[in-house]
């Protein structure tokens, strides 16, 4: 019997490797023997692998947006058109678009989003109707922790609505109706007497003014003149209220055309743009499509759990957006596959929060 190893096996298993590039990064995780240091732990993600590496890359990409935002505008660019059609928001070196789905406002991620908006760290927001109304509703009543497994039939009998493992008593929406109806009356009156052309972004700013609550995302968006776009504003409880109001006091008109021009202008006349999009659907496409108007964003971070096998825009990787001209060919976009209620607060802790503290100190 031949005692030598078959050559076909050795050739298959013991393939000689090419030398790795001199700048190749070595995989290495955090060593807890060095103590518990959350900043260093987060920094280690870059070399950990899998989605930890993608989160590390996302942190780098957002910090690039912020560093460019901080740089002074050159003299030749100072005469560029103001991005806000209302003339209230100054141009910066990097206009940052933040998009998120409504469930994140329902969750405790709302406080992370509010922090970013409160400190004036983004320039344009896109969200869904639920992403608007849930912020105001939380100023009027609480949302509670529940369980994904709570039976819907029993909850319906109790008048409790389930959002994943969150619980929103239906009384919350009744309080929302009581609060918003007089405001809708005012909008109709001002439309008719002052010839105001209401748009979704103008309505949201007005609601942010009226809520007058520093816990609200849109209170701070109003205070900092950050435009908030929601082209499907009627697709939620706020739409229910507009529907009821149309019987009580008909005539309110909300113009989408003025808003799409204002939205696209945020990208068209920007010096550089960055996209940070949590979730998919409308918010992802609306921001990406605005950046198509300038032949692509310079920086991009997508955070969602969707995959591309079904051809959905939600699941599309950044490379697909490059093919459409929504992200520049020279950009280094990042997609993190994961759930934003975990990832976004961590990202804020390593990007927006230290940036805000640093700029506060320097000022």
Cβ atoms 101, 204 nearer than 8 A: no
202: Cβ–Cβ under 8 A, 6 or more apart, which residues?
A: 196
Cβ pair 84, 227 in contact under 8 A? yes
The structure tokens 């010839």 sit at: 195
pLDDT over 50 (residue 156): yes
Q: Which residues, including other chains, have CB under 8 Å from residue 243's CB and lie 6 or more apart?
A: 234
Q: What is the mean pLDDT of the chain?
A: 95
Supply the Cα-derived Rg of the chain in whole angstroms. 24
End-to-end Cα spacing for the chain: 83
> What integer is the mean pLDDT of 148-169?
98
pLDDT confidence band for 86 (50 / 70 / 90): very low
Give the model's pLDDT for residue 87. Answer: 52
175 part of the active site: no
Mean pLDDT of 257-261: 96
The average pLDDT across 112-120 equals 98
**Alpha helix (H) residue ranges in 71-199:** 102-106, 109-118, 129-140, 152-158, 171-194
Query: Strand pairing partners for 275?
Result: 97, 300
Task: Work out the pLDDT band at 75, boundaries 50, 70, 90.
Answer: confident
Q: Report pLDDT digits (tens) over 41-54.
A: 999 999 999 999 99
CB atoms within 10 A of CB 359: 15
Element (H, E) at 46: none
- Can you tell me the mean pLDDT for 237-246? 98
Q: What is the pLDDT of residue 85?
A: 47
Query: Would you state the pLDDT for residue 362?
Result: 67
Among 202, 326, 328, 335, the active-site one is: 326
Q: What is the side-by-side strand order in the sheet with 299-304?
A: 228-229, 124-127, 95-100, 273-278, 299-304, 334-337
The answer, yes or no, to whether residue 221 has pLDDT greater than 70, is: yes
- The pLDDT tens digits for 2-52 are 778 999 999 999 999 999 999 999 999 999 999 999 999 999 999 999 999
Share of the chain above pLDDT 70, in %: 96
In this prediction, residues 261-279 reach a mean pLDDT of 95
Q: State the residue for tokens 């590496």.
A: 53
pLDDT mean over 113-117: 98
User: Hey, CA dihedral for 180, 136, 215, 97, is it positive or negative?
Assistant: negative
Residues present in the chain in total: 363
Mean pLDDT of 49-66: 98
- Tens digit of pLDDT for each residue in 284-316? 999 999 999 999 999 999 999 999 999 999 999
Neighbours of 251 (CB within 10 A): 11
Report CA dihedral (145, 277, 97, 122) to the nearest 10 degrees.
40
Name beta bridge partners: 295. none
Main-chain phi, psi angles of 92, to 5 degrees: -125, 175
């Amino acid at each position: 019997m031949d005692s030598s190893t078959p050559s076909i096996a050795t050739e298959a298993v013991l393939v000689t490797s090419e030398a790795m590039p001199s700048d190749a990064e070595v995989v290495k995780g955090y060593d807890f023997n060095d103590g518990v240091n959350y900043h260093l732990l987060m920094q280690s993600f870059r070399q950990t692998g899998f989605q930890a590496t993608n989160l590390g890359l996302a942190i780098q990409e957002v910090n690039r947006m912020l560093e460019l935002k901080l740089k002074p505008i050159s003299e030749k660019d100072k005469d560029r058109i103001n991005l806000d059609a209302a003339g209230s928001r100054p141009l910066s070196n990097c206009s940052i678009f933040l998009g998120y789905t409504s469930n994140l406002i329902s969750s405790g991620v709302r406080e992370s989003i509010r922090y970013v908006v409160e400190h004036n760290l983004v320039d344009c927001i896109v969200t869904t109707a639920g992403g608007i109304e849930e912020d105001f509703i939380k100023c009027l009543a609480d949302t509670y922790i529940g369980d994904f497994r709570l039976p819907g039939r029993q909850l319906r009998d109790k008048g409790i609505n389930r959002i994943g493992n969150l619980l929103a008593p239906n009384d919350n929406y009744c309080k929302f109706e009581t609060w918003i109806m007089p405001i809708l009356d005012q909008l109709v009156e001002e439309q008719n007497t002052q010839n105001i052309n209401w748009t979704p972004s103008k309505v949201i700013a007005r609601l942010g003014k009226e809520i007058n609550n520093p816990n609200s995302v849109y209170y701070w968006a109003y205070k900092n003149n950050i435009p908030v776009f929601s082209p499907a504003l009627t697709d939620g409880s706020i739409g229910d209220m507009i529907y009821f109001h149309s019987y009580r006091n008909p005539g309110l008109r909300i113009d989408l055309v003025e808003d799409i021009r204002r939205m696209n202008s945020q990208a068209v006349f920007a010096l550089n743009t960055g996209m940070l999009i949590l979730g998919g659907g409308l918010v992802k496409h609306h921001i990406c499509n605005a950046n198509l108007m300038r032949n692509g964003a310079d920086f991009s971070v997508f955070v969602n759990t969707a995959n591309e096998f079904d051809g959905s825009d939600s699941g599309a990787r950044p490379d697909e957006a490059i093919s459409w001209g929504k992200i520049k060919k020279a950009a280094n976009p990042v997609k993190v596959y994961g759930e934003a209620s975990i990832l976004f607060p961590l990202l804020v802790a390593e990007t927006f929060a230290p940036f805000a503290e640093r700029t506060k100190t320097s000022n």
